[in-house]
Amino acid sequence: QKEVEQNSGPLSVPEGAIASLNCTYSDRGSQSFFWYRQYSGKSPELIMFIYSNGDKEDGRFTAQLNKASQYVSLLIRDSQPSDSATYLCAAAGGGNTPLVFGKGTRLSVIA
């Protein structure tokens, strides 16, 4: 059973702080990893994807991947109240395997 685990939260951080969201996955064959943001009542919106070990930065967002530890994280710098949402971590293997999602972590940025 391929699983992606996330702490459901809520994770509360003050405005301007760094929010750290974490995710672990069970399938060692997973090759690509995605972070989606989902506002209440809306559909998931892609934030970042990462395929290689290490860090990948895009603006205020940094994704980190450690395949040996089967661990993915998302850092949000200078958090804003508009970042308050549920963050979904997803993993996909090679070939025709679909996305496997975690349950999501709810982030609340307090002004």
- How many C-beta neighbours within 10 Å does residue 58 have? 11
Tokens 């998931």 belong to which residue? 44
The verdict on 99 binding other proteins (CB under 8 A) reads yes
The verdict on 92 binding other proteins (CB under 8 A) reads yes
The verdict on 100 binding other proteins (CB under 8 A) reads yes
> Among 85, 88, 107, 109, which residue sits at the site for other proteins (rule: CB under 8 A)?
88
Which strand (E) or helix (H) includes residue 25?
strand 19-25
The verdict on 102 binding other proteins (CB under 8 A) reads yes
The verdict on 39 binding other proteins (CB under 8 A) reads no
Q: How far is the CB of 16 from other proteins (least distance, A)?
A: 29
DSSP 41-87: TS--EEEEEE-SSEEEEETTEEEEEETTTTEEEEEESS--GGG-EEE
Q: What angle do CA 35, 1, 31 make, to 5 degrees?
A: 40
The verdict on 51 binding other proteins (CB under 8 A) reads yes
Structure token digits, residue 69 = 């530890």
Structure token digits, residue 78 = 């200078």
Q: How far is the CB of 44 from other proteins (least distance, A)?
A: 5
Applying CB under 8 A, the site for other proteins has a residue count of: 26
Contacts with other proteins by CB under 8 A lie at 4, 31-32, 34, 36, 42-46, 49, 51, 88, 90, 92, 94-104
